Amino acid sequence: MRRATRRVLDPLLPVERFTASDRKVVFVIWVAGVIQGFAQSQASVSLPFTRAGLGLSEGEMSLVLGAARLVAFAALPIGWLGDHTGRRKPFLAAMTLIVVGGCVSGLAAGAWWFGLSNSVLRTGTAAVSGLAVVILAESVSAPVRAYAISFLGAAVSLGSGLALTTLPLAEGGGDAWRIPHLLTAIGFLALPFLFRNVPEPRIYADRPEEGHAEGGRRKGGRWRELAVGEWAGRFWVTAAVSLFPSAFGAVGAAFTTERLINQVGIGGGATVLIILAAGTLGAVGFFAGGRLADSWGRKATSIMSLLLALAGGVAFYTVESIPLIVVGALVSAFGTFAVVPSFGSLRAELFPTALRSSAGTAASNFGLAGSALGLILGTYTIDAFGLTETVLILAAGVVIAAGLLLRLPETRGQDLTAISTDRR
């Protein structure tokens, strides 16, 4: 019986056992991921009620959320600090920005205040998304690197699910929309735990000399090496793969409740059940994606996952049957979740230690920029043509991203200490 159960679960289990050290760092980053997911999801989860409370149209709300993501390019210096001062302190600073920005959003007196506080939150999430993957990649055993990153994705998803359960609190009218945002203050209770336990990866602390002509350790790489230098080819492809699917995903995620409540006519409670059910079942994508990335390969898993996310997302916004909408949400969630460990590990393994934090944070920022572009485009197209038509326009970017992944090398099994700044 145990053997049969093991065979059934094998596609969802790591290829090797986690060490005690692996489990500890994964748990610490998991806690951070739950906080991040809860905070960053409130704007989209409570969108119909937040939008009404701020007196904004669908298009105007799209503009506010898009602008907040563009301002979040302020996370780039945090990523740069990760390569020059260590991963730990910038990560903790970014986590603090997430909690503060989320709480202040609930106090917003107008659209500009909400947009500014959401920008602070998004700056934190961009930095944490990049640095958390780097910390995991540099801290856990190589054979389970992608699977470890699965737990980060699952934690963010769990946080998003918890945020979704607060939706009924926003339905009371008046200032009730503020309550879910203010609940982000719970994150302050977890910050002391993170400050005590987030590690500084030894790969960073003990990294060998990397291309330093005068000897000694180089404290960190330069942006020029990524933008126009020898690593530019890899960097701009990862940036594009982060950007295009995010434009599609941001509009799809931000208007999920709008689609179900105002277009399909489903109540808030039923909306929560549908999204949670699809998200919970789809969440196996995190672990299936991690297992496949560690056993099959980063590139193939990432391409497959993107195409599944595309197919499910298009179905969600084009069909009218509730069962088919649920299936679309399930397939989209599976693909979206599976790409997190596969592309996350690929991204971390493409760059040397002196550039890994900067590259990871920049890629996360390009993901936010894609979200912003999608939402800003929605400012014009949603009100003019419709929400479904906007989703279909943005779907083309996901196909482009899947094609671009073919240009990157396969990195499964990469020794992170062996990547030299002398290329490639």
Please state, in angstroms and as integers, the Cα–Cα distance from residue 20 to each residue in 44, 96, 330, 414, following that order.
Answer: 37, 28, 33, 22
Question: Token digits for 43?
Answer: 């704007």
Mean pLDDT, rounded, for 162-179: 86
pLDDT of residue 354: 86
Q: What b/e readout covers 228-253, taking b as 16+ CB neighbours within 10 angstroms?
A: ebebeebbbbbbbbbbbbbbbbbbbb
Q: pLDDT over 90 for what percent of the chain?
A: 50
Question: Token digits for 238?
Answer: 């990862």
- Spell out the domain ranges in the chain: 21-205+222-418
DSSP state of 14: -
Mean pLDDT, rounded, for 355-360: 91
In this predicted model, which residue has the larger pLDDT, 106 or 273?
106
- List the CATH code of the domain at 21-205+222-418: 1.20.1250.20
In this predicted model, which residue has the larger pLDDT, 229 or 32?
32
pLDDT of residue 127: 93
Mean pLDDT, rounded, for 317-344: 90
pLDDT over threshold 70, residue 13:
yes
Mean pLDDT, rounded, for 206-220: 49
353 half-sphere exposure, CB direction, 13 A CA radius: 26
Question: Token digits for 257?
Answer: 């409740």
Q: How confident is the model at residue 418 (pLDDT cuts 50, 70, 90)?
A: low
Q: How confident is the model at residue 18 (pLDDT cuts 50, 70, 90)?
A: very high
Mean pLDDT, rounded, for 341-362: 91
Show the DSSP H helices in 319-386 as ranges: 322-349, 353-384
The Cα–Cα gap between 386 and 396 comes to 17
DSSP state of 17: P
pLDDT of residue 403: 95
pLDDT of residue 137: 93
Please state, in angstroms and as integers, the Cα–Cα distance from residue 260 to each residue in 137, 267, 273, 316, following that order.
Answer: 38, 8, 11, 10
pLDDT of residue 69: 77
Q: For the ranges 32-41, 70-79, 134-143, which has the lowest average pLDDT? A: 70-79
pLDDT over threshold 50, residue 311:
yes
Mean pLDDT of the chain: 86
Mean pLDDT, rounded, for 39-55: 86
pLDDT of residue 307: 96
In this predicted model, which residue has the larger pLDDT, 69 or 403?
403
Mean pLDDT, rounded, for 160-180: 86
Please name the residues in contact with 295: beta carbons below 8 A apart, sequence gap of 6 or more: 15
